Structure 1
Amino acid sequence: MKKFKNLLDINKISFYKSVNNQIFILFGLITFACVFADFSFKNSNLTIPFIITTLISSTITFKGISKLKKIEIKQIIRREGPKNHFLKQGTPTMGGIFFIPIGIIISNIIYFNKANYHIVLTLSFLSIFFMFIGFIDDYLSLKKQLNTGLKSNQKIILQFFISLIFIIICASNNLIPNNILIANKIVYIGNLIYPLGIFVLLAESNSTNLTDGLDGLLSGCSVLIFTGLAITILIENPSNNLTLAPLCIVMAGACMGFLFLNKYPAKLFMGDSGSLAMGASLGGIALLSNNLWSLLIMGGVLVAESISVIIQVSIFKISKRLQGKGHKLFLMSPLHHHFELKGNNEVLIVSSFWLVTLLLVIINLIFFIQN
């Protein structure tokens, strides 16, 4: 019996080492990409902001865990979720209130009194207010002691209102292009860019919110997507290297610092305050840099997660109306829960989704390099 217990302990230690190795490989990969970009593009400055933001984010977030524990800000697990998630009950949440402001503050410090600072200020407004919506949702969840805070229609109304203000500010300052780049074709859409922009912000923020269901899943994917956006912007339009590209890499660093504590087994969850702000930031940057198509490609995992929910709900409602009994395509949605209930290990699912995101980022970058 003692030998069996020792064997389990050894396997557990090996498992944790494997997770840590994945995190450091990801950090090394992003650092290498930053160094390569800095050597390849004139005036590019990605490496130092990424490393500094990662260190600050990791440090501040680590210190924030004890504060959250002290005031009992702990995750509430929904009853209908996978049974193994009940082991996560009581893990501190609302980590977004630490690492999102770090990304915003460092971005503003870097660009303060520089050309195009108003772009960073506008994107900061978007991210901070989406974080605030998430904060309200998280707070109400804790107050009710349920995994539901704001009602879905309340959340959408608040997101729509902030998105509308963001679009109005951008339109009045000529920050949004009146065309979209699809593959290598420019499609003029005129004023339709404004409702499209609102849709993108709503869709992206809710996609990230749905994806945030496993330890390290959203934070790891976001690191890759933010980095992919930064390099895409440099390839496509090097004149943006003093604004949007470093802003992307700072947000990647903020997510990376958080990931060190959000990896399996998570010591901290980001909550809606983190996931909604990350999605809004991705959507806002892609919109202003005219990289909506790239975001769609690189964020394929986020898209798949959202579509799985839409399909699941639609099939259930239609079948219930036609047959009197609802049917499901997936064991559970979003998609990552389906794979969990199929018996797959959580870490394997997360690392697989990271790998898919990495491949999508590489495909997007290869396309831009060739064109």
Structure 2
Amino acid sequence: MLYYLFDYFNKTLNLSGTGVFQYITFRSALAFILSLLLSTIYGKRVIHFLQRQQVGETVRELGLAGQNEKAGTPTMGGLIIIFATLIPVFLFAKLQNIYIVLLIVTTLWMGTIGFVDDYIKIFKKDKQGLKGIFKVFGQVGLGLIVGSVLYFNPQVTVRTDTGKINIFKQTTETVITPAAVEEKSTATTIPFFKNNEFDYAEILSFMGDGYEKWAWIIFIPVVIFIITAVSNGANLTDGIDGLAAGTSAISVLALAIFTFVSGNIIFSNYLNIMYIPNSGEMTVFIAAFVGSLIGFLWYNSYPASVFMGDTGSLTIGGIIAVLAIAVRKELLIPLLCGIFLVENFSVVLQVAYFKYTKKRFGEGRRIFLMSPLHHHYQKKGYHESKIVTRFWIVAIMLAILSIVTLKLR
């Protein structure tokens, strides 16, 4: 909203200094600062409100050190992340930008699913929360919306070949003339390869001429799968103090770099990557999102004063998935979100191996002492703050390696 106000001041009233709001970097900085302030200052008020409503965590008997002490800690703290993200976005972002609209819808959609799940657990005293089938329906529904918009909306275009960028002076301004045109495309980026564009439509090339118009048959299910997988991965990672929020902030910071360079024709041309018009605006959203995650860590770091609950974890996973898909870096998710992937696989492997051995030997056996993986290390006697710190270090290394793929081809 403030963007449009200052844009009016600049173009209509010609007030000096108001043009600075045209710069994504400036608005991103403001969004980060405001989000950080909101999550740290007003986060405490939200925690006190949750305490008055007796929104406390019910702890299962898992035999983990320090687990019982967490009983009664306020949950649903994801509300802090959601509000601290959306308020700066509404103030500083271009709200008609299709990518910003998608991210706002994702935040509210996944936040609502998580909120309902937490509500059932806390107020209905049902430890199972929202039935898994309804969670999946919600994730699939969001995937359908995101996939359909990214495929059919005319504002979503790419330039897979920016060509030569001609920069020349005309009196007082610089004019940039791109050699390529914007086009609708289902192309994405394959990391570590030199000619690293892959078009989902190519999977249907066996259909003959005109196969491109059926690319949505592949693209939309891929979007649904990614959103479901990443949101569940974030949900499983939220098991000990500061783990999900910290690793997510690291991954999102890396995505901020991808978003900024992909939305800037000069940088994308220099790096020889796909240019995605209008996507740079997502940097404002990302800045607000990172600020809210860091501010939330102020209260979620060990010993946690609040837990994010499914309200936060499902929202985080959904946002990361949509960001990666929007900048055509979804194939980097296994590397960029490696912590989520490992946590997911540890559960899948544990369950599959247990069922297999029970069927074959008559008793279930386990690969890990406990799953998800972070609980395995807790069972081995590591303090949770040490586990979280080491997971953060791994997440930083994965994020750096992901960024390096911009040139490592």
Asked if the contact 2:39/2:81 (under 8 Å) is kept, the reply is: yes
Correspondent of 2:290 among 226, 248, 252? 252
Letter in 1 for 2:399: V
Q: Trace 1:1-371 onto structure 2 (pairs within 5 A).
A: 44-45=25-26, 46-80=28-62, 82-112=64-94, 117-174=97-154, 175=156, 177-183=185-191, 184=193, 185-190=196-201, 191=215, 192-239=218-265, 242-370=280-408
Asked if the contact 2:258/2:327 (under 8 Å) is kept, the reply is: no
Question: Matched residues in 1 for 2:295 and 2:336: separation?
Answer: 21
Secondary structure of the residue aligned to 2:66 is helix
Question: Matched residues in 2 for 1:286 and 1:209: separation?
Answer: 18
Q: Give the drift of 1:84.
A: 2.5
Q: Give the drift of 1:95.
A: 0.6
Secondary structure of the residue aligned to 2:189 is strand
Check 1:83–1:347 CA distance in 2 against 1; reply closer, same or farther (3 A cut).
closer
Point out the more displaced range, 162-171 or 95-104: 162-171
Could you tell me which runs of 5 or more consecutive residues in structure 2 were left unpaired when the two chains were aligned: 1-22, 158-184, 202-214, 266-277
Alignment-derived partner of residue 11 in structure 2: none
Superposed CA offset, 1:225-249 (max 9, x none): 1111001222344255741222222
Question: Matched residues in 2 for 1:243 and 1:214: separation?
Answer: 33
Check 1:81–1:48 CA distance in 2 against 1; reply closer, same or farther (3 A cut).
farther
Letter in 2 for 1:347: S
Q: Give the drift of 1:333.
A: 0.5
Q: Give the drift of 1:121.
A: 1.2
Could you tell me which runs of 5 or more consecutive residues in structure 1 were left unpaired when the two chains were aligned: 1-41
Alignment-derived partner of residue 12 in structure 2: none
TM-score between the two structures when normalised by the length of structure 1: 0.83
Secondary structure of the residue aligned to 1:268 is coil
Question: Matched residues in 1 for 2:200 and 2:279: separation?
Answer: 26
Letter in 2 for 1:204: V
Question: Matched residues in 2 for 1:78 and 1:152: separation?
Answer: 19
Secondary structure of the residue aligned to 2:25 is coil
Asked if the contact 2:40/2:295 (under 8 Å) is kept, the reply is: yes
Percent identity between matched residues is 31
Question: Matched residues in 2 for 1:69 and 1:128: separation?
Answer: 23
Q: Give the drift of 1:105.
A: 2.7
Question: Matched residues in 2 for 1:144 and 1:83: separation?
Answer: 28
Higher helix share: 1
Question: Matched residues in 2 for 1:89 and 1:332: separation?
Answer: 20
Q: Give the drift of 1:126.
A: 1.4
Superposed CA offset, 1:58-110 (max 9, x none): 12211101100101000111223625211100000001122213212322322
The size of the alignment, in residue pairs, is: 328
Point out the more displaced range, 68-77 or 235-244: 235-244
Letter in 2 for 1:64: V
Question: Matched residues in 1 for 2:259 and 2:148: separation?
Answer: 24
Question: Matched residues in 1 for 2:331 and 2:396: separation?
Answer: 16
Asked if the contact 1:208/1:279 (under 8 Å) is kept, the reply is: yes
Secondary structure of the residue aligned to 2:67 is helix
Q: CA RMSD in A?
A: 1.9
Q: Give the drift of 1:222.
A: 1.1
Asked if the contact 1:262/1:268 (under 8 Å) is kept, the reply is: yes
Asked if the contact 1:94/1:269 (under 8 Å) is kept, the reply is: yes
Question: Matched residues in 2 for 1:63 and 1:110: separation?
Answer: 24
Asked if the contact 2:147/2:219 (under 8 Å) is kept, the reply is: no
Question: Matched residues in 2 for 1:57 and 1:282: separation?
Answer: 19
Asked if the contact 1:229/1:294 (under 8 Å) is kept, the reply is: no
Secondary structure of the residue aligned to 1:73 is coil
Check 1:236–1:296 CA distance in 2 against 1; reply closer, same or farther (3 A cut).
farther
Asked if the contact 2:146/2:223 (under 8 Å) is kept, the reply is: no
Secondary structure of the residue aligned to 1:44 is helix
Q: Which has the larger radius of gyration?
A: 2
Q: Give the drift of 1:340.
A: 0.4
